[in-house]
Amino acid sequence: MDRTAYMMCKFRRLNCYRLVTEGVNFAGEKLYMSEDFIKMMWSRTIFLADVLRRGYSFIFTDTDVMWLRNPLARLSSNETEDLQISTDVFNGDPWSEKNLINTGFYFVRSNNRTISLFETWYSTKDNATGKKEQDVLLDLMRLGMFRVLGLKVRFLDTQYFSGFCTDSKDFGAVTTVHANCCRSIVAKVFDLTAVLRDWKRYKFSNRRPGYARNRTVRHMWTKHVGCWKSWRVTMNNTVH
């Protein structure tokens, strides 16, 4: 995302990609739904399309997605499934296009269908003023584009791939926690720190001899106060 990171990557002899978006400086925070935020999301989309064109299947994960367990254990290994994508709200049906998708975490296989999806997705950006790329993908899905392209898409259960929009109720199953439904980095860090604290408390309790056999304890996530307040502060100060 910046020259220093790119040069360090090259120095370590890794496969490196210098992501540049004209007119945008990615050195600082881009507030949710600001003009630069939207530009950043679209630059990400065309970059990932290029990765698919090079033949790589991949897991994409936002920085604000905390991995508590290995997600590969919960993702389908069925090679006929082109895309497995997280949801803000899961309706119980992994094949239902009525699920509210979230592009913060997904697994996509490289093939002609997914390459076409990403190219179609990016091509709509100039007609989507004021919309982030996630909203546009949701619109494409609702217009039937997944079916037109012959895509098989699995929508991920929030019991395993959870977020602040919908908490997982099962500490024994939760795999990732996404700081979604949140506006600022400060709020995300504050509430993800609480998530990590809750997780460590759960892991510690399970290590105590006889704890699981002799006690029934309902573990609860700390309320996401920082993220709730991030919206209220924004509305009060009319930040854009």
Q: Please tell me the chain's helix, strand, coil percentages from 3-state DSSP, rounded to the nearest 5.
A: 40, 15, 45
One-letter amino acid for residue 28 of the chain: G
Q: How many C-alpha atoms does 96 have within 13 Å on its Cβ side? A: 11
pLDDT at residue number 51 = 93
**Per-block mean pLDDT, blocks of 10 residues, the chain (240 long):** 90 88 62 66 86 96 96 96 98 97 97 97 83 90 97 98 97 97 93 97 81 63 95 53
- Domain spanning 3-161 has what CATH number? 3.90.550.10
Q: What strand order describes the sheet that includes 83-89?
A: 58-61, 100-108, 83-89, 153-155
Cβ atoms of 183 and 227 closer than 8 Å: yes
Write down the pTM of the prediction. Answer: 0.85
Dump the DSSP string for 39-54. HHHHHHHHHHHHHHHT
The residues pairing with 176 across neighbouring beta strands, listed in sequence order, are 67, 161
Residue at token pair 């510690």: 204
Confirm if 157 and 71 have CB atoms less than 8 A apart.
no
Burial 48-76 (b: 16+ CB within 10 A, else e): bbebbeeeeeeebbbebbbebeebeebbe
Q: What is the pLDDT of residue 191?
A: 98
Task: Give the per-residue pLDDT at 128.
Answer: 75
Task: List the beta bridge partners of residue 100.
Answer: 89
pLDDT of residue 46: 87
Start-to-end Cα distance in the chain: 23
Q: What is the pLDDT of residue 42?
A: 77
CA-derived radius of gyration, the chain: 19
What are the backbone dihedrals phi and psi of residue 153, each rounded to the nearest 5 degrees, phi first?
A: -120, 130
DSSP annotation of 159: T
Q: What is the C-alpha to C-alpha distance for residues 106 and 86, in angstroms, rounded to an integer?
A: 6
